[in-house]
Copies of this chain bind each other. A is one copy, B any other.
Amino acid sequence: MPHIDNFRVEERDIPELLDGRILCQNLFISLESGFRNWMDEGSGDEILPAMPIGEPVMGLTLSRVLESRNPLYRAGDLLMARFAWEEFTVTDAGDFISPLTDVKHPLNYYLGVLGDTGLSAYFGLTDYGDIKPGETVLVSAAAGAVGSIAGQIAKLYGARTVGISSTAAKCQRLISDLGYDAALDRTVADLDKAMTIACPDGVDVYFDNVGGPMLQTVLNHINEEARILLCGSVATYNNPLPQPGPNNLFQLTTRHAHMHGFMTHLQLARYDEARTVLAGWIEEGHLVVHEHRLQGIENVARAFCDLFAGVNFGKTIVVL
């Protein structure tokens, strides 16, 4: 479990701007629980390398080019980038940068509802949800960056929505602030019974942001032809060893149900189309955006730890 004492703020000089490089100012840092996966030594895989201990933490930023000695970029360009948690970045601009052009919406939206988290909710439900009006859609980490959008999209698609969260206060806000029809506190003594009460007609779609033991409980409540959308697995990111999976996966067979994993960054070609839909819903008042927003580089570590402590409601960002 990441703790604020695992991090420190260091001051360093900005490196010289050699030929081929760009100097960027990082305007926002987007906090993503998934990055926990590459924080252990030896945790590199085919997706990302492990972050070297003692070096700046790798993350996601929205940045502006201040000075460019690279023909592909000009001063003033906006970028979504996999930069470190730092105020300024000098880089030779590899393939971990995606230019942000044709900006029509508030910049902070591009980290949340119009960024990977909002788009994950959109692509997951749109591509694999197949929601029929009146079906029950259950969302875990329902107050999180992805869940807070997923619940609202499912509602727009005609579902009865049920959100899972970690405190009674957040459960109350799921209903009042995010329009969930019902909420489920995952810390109750008898989770299975609480799920029966919250989902009396069973679960048709489970939008899973947490993985871990919750999936096993949900599998006992799925309806025939249920769809389980595996988006994230925050419950397992901090475990040093792999944890056993659900012991009732055979429920998928007896319920002839379906489980879909998906990675949003593979849908890059459809980002514009999805952003148009999502922005339209925001403008029409059908989709509200919540942010857990902190200020200043000294609060990035706290913002990251908040993700795992369940403190955030909506997308967690730091404004630099």
Contact = CB atoms under 8 A, between A and B. Distances in A.
A249 interface: yes
A7 interface: no
Residue of A232, A251, A262 ringed by the most chain B CB atoms within 10 A: A262
Contacts of A247: 242-245
Residue of A47, A216, A259, A261 ringed by the most chain B CB atoms within 10 A: A261
Residue of A216, A247, A259, A266 ringed by the most chain B CB atoms within 10 A: A259
Nearest to A249: B245
Interface string A230-253: 111100100000111111111111
Contacts of A270: none
Contacts of A261: 250-258
A258 B259 contact: yes
Contacts of A3: none
A47 B47 CA distance: 42
B250 A230 contact: yes
Nearest to A216: B245
A230 to B, nearest CB: 5
B258 A263 contact: no
A260 interface: yes
A263 B253 CA distance: 6
A249 B255 CA distance: 19
A216 B259 CA distance: 15
Contacts of A242: 247-248
Nearest to A230: B253
A254 B249 CA distance: 19
Nearest to A226: B261
Contacts of A266: 256
Contacts of A257: 261
A211 interface: yes
Residue of A211, A216, A248, A253 ringed by the most chain B CB atoms within 10 A: A253
A43 to B, nearest CB: 13
B233 A250 contact: yes
Contacts of A236: 250
A32 to B, nearest CB: 14
Interface in A205-229: 211, 215-216
Contact of A258 (B215, B248, B251, B260): B260
Interface in A260-290: 260-263, 266
B245 A256 contact: no
Interface string A183-216: 0000000000000000000000000000100011
26 contacts: A216-B245, A230-B250, A230-B252, A230-B253, A231-B253, A233-B253, A243-B247, A244-B244, A244-B245, A244-B247, A245-B245, A245-B247, A245-B249, A246-B249, A251-B261, A253-B261, A253-B262, A253-B263, A254-B261, A254-B263, A256-B260, A256-B262, A257-B261, A258-B259, A258-B260, A258-B261
